[in-house]
Structure 1
Amino acid sequence: MDPDSARLHTLFHLYTNATCTAEERHEYLQLVKQQQYADALQQLIQQQLEQTDAEGELNPARAAVILRSITGGGAGGKRIALRRWAPWLAAAVLLLAAAGVWLVYDGKEEQGGQPPVADNNDIQPGANKALLTLADGTVVALDSAGNQVIQQGAVAIRQQAGSLQYDVQEGKAATGTNLLTTPRGGQFRIVLPDGTKVWLNAESSIKYPVVFAGKERRVTVTGEAYFEVAARADMPFMVDAGRHTALQVLGTRFNINSYDNEPALVATLLQGSIKLMQTLPDAPAPLILRPGEQVAVQQRPGSKMQADTARVMAWKNGVFNLDGVDIKELMRQLERWYDIRVVYAQQPPDIRLFGKISRNKTLNNFLKALEDYEVKFKRQGNTLIVLPGA
């Protein structure tokens, strides 16, 4: 067995036993995309299927539904060209089901098909909306339809198409701090006075001066934000992100997830470099992140690991990326995006989801993509009750 095939064998068993790290999962998913490993992967699946078949714990009917979705045989969706893989893909679906992993399919309309019927009781997805608190305490409501100029001394704040931009008159002094806050069901984009671009996810905020002065550019963030920082070697960009954690950056692109109800603060670097520091008296040495790396901070920073950047950036790109997500994590995302409350009738099943679903779907249409799995839902107004599966 060549080294690459041996590595695939190792990763396959770690993956199907749900004992792989995030880095190993990323490596495995990259390997199985390569045509040269198709035969080896088929053999591994067949061996595992023979082992699990005798236990009688698989659900072929449910696997068939998932398989039809993957291959385009269901109600809508693009057909995948790799038709010859379908026989062992069916076995793969069965195997994933046995391992507590479910594929979520984002069905599209067939060409010439009828659009979904409108449901007046449905909950719409989030949209561009935010509140801007000016230095004098004035609060301005912002949305995607707004088109206005807010004058704040020597600073002109221009709102257009779900975005905010600051323009400072040359030669004029400007002071004060502004706060941009997105509610549940909201998102917004801002261009800071230095040209740095920031995207805020739902239930997030950024606090910043109307003009950056002094030796550094410092902002404070809650929730989730993606940054494209304007390069200024003479004035480092600092982000206070909560949990006694600060990031020092130069010109860079990164994402910070610091929701209070998530188990850890997660910083992910896409380009440039970041120095992650803790502001505690006995803080460990700073960590330097390189592109493609991320670190999670609970009480103390964990080890650096390779990031699944597609999953990290999915929210900004209008997608829920469910790769490796469990039910509770998904429900927290839905609470923020659809402005709902989630309660559990009992402990939800310990399963992992894989797939992608558009953030533009209404809540009911989103939930339909999950209806074949070991979890059911009941809605009472803005409350979503998670029930045990049938």
Structure 2
Amino acid sequence: MNTIYFDNSATTRISDEALETYLEVSKNTFGNPSSLHALGFAAERELNAARSAILRTLGSPVGTLIFTASGSEANNLAISGRLHAKERYRRGAKILSTAGEHASVSEPLRALGAEGVKIVEIPTAGGVLDREALLREMTPDVVLVTMMLVNNETGALYDLADVSRLMKEKLPEAVLHVDATQGYLKVPFTPKSLGADMITLSSHKIEGPKGVGALYVSSDLIKKRGLSAQILGGGQEGGLRSGTENVPGVAAFATAATMGAKNFAAHAEVMESLRAYLLMRLSEEPGLSGIRPVLPARHAPHILNLTLPKIKSETMLHYLSSEGICVSSGSACSSNGGGHLSSALIAFGRTAAEADTSIRVSFSYRNTKEEVDALVAALARGLTKLSRIR
């Protein structure tokens, strides 16, 4: 049985080109980039070339990339590193975020809340930031605004450029961190277009290897020493992230990013067309009329969440898996916690019962209409065979 993969928001298959880069650098440029010999210098050049290549995909902004072991680590560095950079940032501080953030944002915020930092989640009903609530909460004690660009479960695309404009008017000293893990090379943006001071990226979401992430940091934030290291040691990555850099992983990340940027428009068009095709097929099939798509006001091209008619997410996931089709019920990272309903879906406006019966389909440019047809047919069979919640 051939596997049909519709879980590309959880991770992607590493591209042949990125894998080739990883193996070549692992074999031939294996030195420690901090070592003062020929192989060390070669590794340092590889690291710097990768940094420059990824920055070019962001529009060559004035700033740097801090390489990390994951997008989750980059989010933690941005949030905790900002709040611990100066004592005054924690004393009576306030952070604005959104309802339904990824756990790598919500959990650091929870920890800071336990330390006395005030955390405010801006409502996102219908996949739209509540502008009135945002304006109301933009008070002088805000030191950080941390928000995702694309919601990893609903696919909602948030207007963070508007958030940045409001911050410049009302919060000139606050910093904007954007978790672009799901938006990078899926929707167009640059640090300048978003007005972002920090941006989180992840390699394995764009056909790079797992175990590599990055945090873009503006030169202004570096100059003001507005970010502090959270992993201490040898002082790598400009003193902001100690530990020997994963040079093969970083080089492969750069290969994937360069190819993704080169083919951005074509890939986005394919994913958008597949999303639209699935919506059309669901509306045409009489037996699937009970499936309710989650439709944000603005959306990324690669994510579509579907609420099933009284069939638990896990039940349908296992059934589709038995049919050779991979989808998810939300964030793969959060699934490790077990038993938690999607805060993103509830924030969007779904009930707890509906959140417990929703699945996420996430596309790649590699998917086809034939695979969408197979998914539709499997969903139809599942709706007739699977037990309903009473």
Q: TM-score, normalised by structure 2?
A: 0.29
Question: If each structure's strand is expressed as a fraction of its own residues, which one has the higher value?
Answer: 1
Q: Which has the higher contact order (CA 8 A, sep 6+)?
A: 2
| Larger Cα-atom Rg | 1
